[in-house]
Structure formats: C-alpha cells, structure tokens
Structure 1
Amino acid sequence: MAATDLSMQLLRQRELLELMLFKLEELEMLVTTGRTRWVQHATSEVERVAKALASGAILRDTMFVDVATQWGAPEATTLRELVEIAPTEAWREVMGSHHAVMTGLAEEIAQKRNAVNQHLRTALRVTQETIAGLGEPTGEYAASGALVGGAGSRLLDVQV
C-alpha cells in the first residue's frame, strides 16, 4: 500500500533529521571547545546528511502524490493535510506522529544551525582581532567570545 511505503519513507527521513541534529551538536561541541582540527570533517558529515535528506525528499514527494490520489486529495497535499484526510484513525495517528516529530526536529535543527553559525562567527572575529592586535594588548575573552578583560592579557604572547 502506498501509505505504508510513505510512512516508511517518512521514518527514514526522521532518522536523517535526527542524524543531522546530532552532527550539528557534534560540530557545535568541536567549535566551542576549540577542537578545530575536526571541524572540516564534521562539516563534511553535515553536508552528506543534507544531501541524503534532499535525495530522499524526491522519493517522499512522489509517494505523497500516490497517497493523496488514493485518499482523494489534490496532488499538492502536505503532510498536515494528509493527517486531516486520512481514511482511518490509525493513519491519522501515524501521519500525525510523523508530522509532529519532523516539525520538532526541523525547529531544533534550525536553532542548532543558528547557534553553530554564531559560534563560528565569534571564533572568526576573535581570530581576526587576535591577528590584528599582534604586538598590542588584545584583552581577555569569555567562552561566548565576548570581550571581558582589558588590555592586561593576551591570547597570543608575542614577546617570547
């Protein structure tokens, strides 16, 4: 049945979304702890998961059309709309669960992506300020990247 195939595809997409969230958290930990040696590898893994999500989306969209047709809905039906028109309570529950979990994961991924981007921008700014301040006091930074100390300390001692 097309609905079963769609449900299985949605489950695979959920697993990929969870993997994406994991990889973003991994990347965030690397950046915030200064373990920049592995950032390139973590970024590559995030990109691989994004490609897998994109390729799975094509198959999922095809399955949506099949299920929508079987359930008497227009071809351009969303998952939320499929929940509403599902022929049985069981299918409403299954599709509703997929919708709720995937929506939640998408929100978490967006938040985590924004946090990682902020950490990367902060790291870049601190590096640029450090390089620009060679020979001059650069101050002291908190873990967030904010300047917390005055001219008394340095990130890089150039008087060695």
Structure 2
Amino acid sequence: MSFTDLSAQLWRERELLDTLTFRLEVEQLLLTAGRTRRLPQATAEVEQVVDQLAVAGLERTVIVAALAAEWGAPLESTLRELAEVAPDGAWQDILVSHLSAMVEQTATIRSLRDANEQFLRAASRATEETMATIAPSSRTYDSTGSAAPSSLSRFLDQTL
C-alpha cells in the first residue's frame, strides 16, 4: 500500500462524511417541517452511509498499518500518529489537512445528530401527549364482549 492509496481512501471517507452531513440535514428538515412520513426513509439512508463509513474505516486501518510498518511506526497507529511519523514535507501536510477536515466534519455531524435526537424526542413527547388527550383511559365492554364505543368514537359519530 502506498501513500497515494491512503490519500485516495481519506478523500473517499471525506466524501462519505459530506454525504452523511447532507442526509442528516435532510432528516432535520423533515423533522422541523413536521414531514415525518418520509422520516423512516431518511433514517435508513443515514444508516446506509454510516455502514459505508464503517467499511471505509476498516479499509483505512489496513492502509495505515501498512504505511506505519513502512515508516517504522506501530501497526495500530492512528491517522494522527501516522502524520507525526510521516516523512517531512508534503505527505505530513496532506495527512494533517485530511485529519483536520475530518475532525471538523465529524463535529458538524455530531451537532446535527444531537439536534435531530432532540427534535425526535420533542415530537415523541408531543405525540404521546396528544394521544393521551384523545385515547380513552379505559374501555368498557358490552354483554357480548365487544368493546363499547370510546368517547372519541361517540364524539365523532355524533358530530359527523
């Protein structure tokens, strides 16, 4: 494996991080607009990108280990550790640049994820509160064992 392989892999991961950011932003737009019908699809797309990132991370680990061996560093070196032992010059600068961009992208992703989780919790609470106000607290049954109409059903039957 060469440094070029690592750089190409890091670009691929950065593109995946950009895609993940986009997918999380779409998810957030759906949540803030109250368009929850497409939320499962948006969430599935986020999970697909996360899975692709996991595979890309494993591929990067293999490439980093090969370069670490070549540069005299421990095989389990992180990208940051590899940048520290990289030959001076362009390689070190490129690794530091990739690392910096990926750290920034990851911070953005964490922020989006946290905001989306808060939107989901708020929506869940609102749904539970709404359901509590319209759902009957207990059902009654007639002599045949059938459920008697709920107060909501009676209200709707009387109004419609």
TM-score by length of 1: 0.82
- Structure 2 counterpart of 1:8: 8
Instruction: State the number of aligned residues.
Output: 138
Q: Which residue of 1 aligns with 2:130?
A: 130
Note the residue ranges of structure 1 that are not aligned, 5 or more in a row: 136-157
Of 80-89 and 94-103, deviating more is 80-89
The corresponding residue for 1:142 is: none
Give the letter for the 1:118 counterpart: Q
What letter matches 1:15 in structure 2?
E
Aligned position for 2:105: 105
Question: CA offsets, 1:31-90, max 9 Å, x none?
Answer: 110111110110110011011011111111000101111111111111111111111310
- CA distance in 2: counterparts of 1:86 and 1:57, whole angstroms: 20
If each structure's helix is expressed as a fraction of its own residues, which one has the higher value? 2
Sequence identity percentage: 44
RCO (CA 8 Å, sep 6+): is it higher in 1 or 2? 2
Give the superposed CA RMSD: 1.6
Name the larger-Rg structure. Answer: 2
| Cα separation, 2, equivalents of 1:57 and 1:83 | 17
In the TM superposition, residue 2 of structure 1 has moved relative to its aligned partner by 1.3
TM-score, normalisation: structure 2: 0.82
Which residue of 2 is the match for residue 140 of structure 1?
A: none
Aligned ranges 1:54-73 → 2 under 5 Å? 54-73=54-73
C-alpha separation in 1, matches of 2:105 and 2:124: 28
Structure 2 spans left out of the alignment, 5+ residues: 136-155
Name the counterpart of 1:148. Answer: none
- Cα distance in 1 for partners of 2:59, 2:127 equals 43
**Which residue matches 1:94?**
94
User: Aligned partner of 1:72: which letter?
Assistant: G
Aligned residue number for residue 18 of structure 1:
18
Equivalent residue letter for 1:53: L
Partner Cα separation in structure 2 for residue 77 and residue 54 of structure 1: 18
Question: What corresponds to 2:139 in structure 1?
Answer: none
Give the counterpart letter for 2:134 in structure 1: L
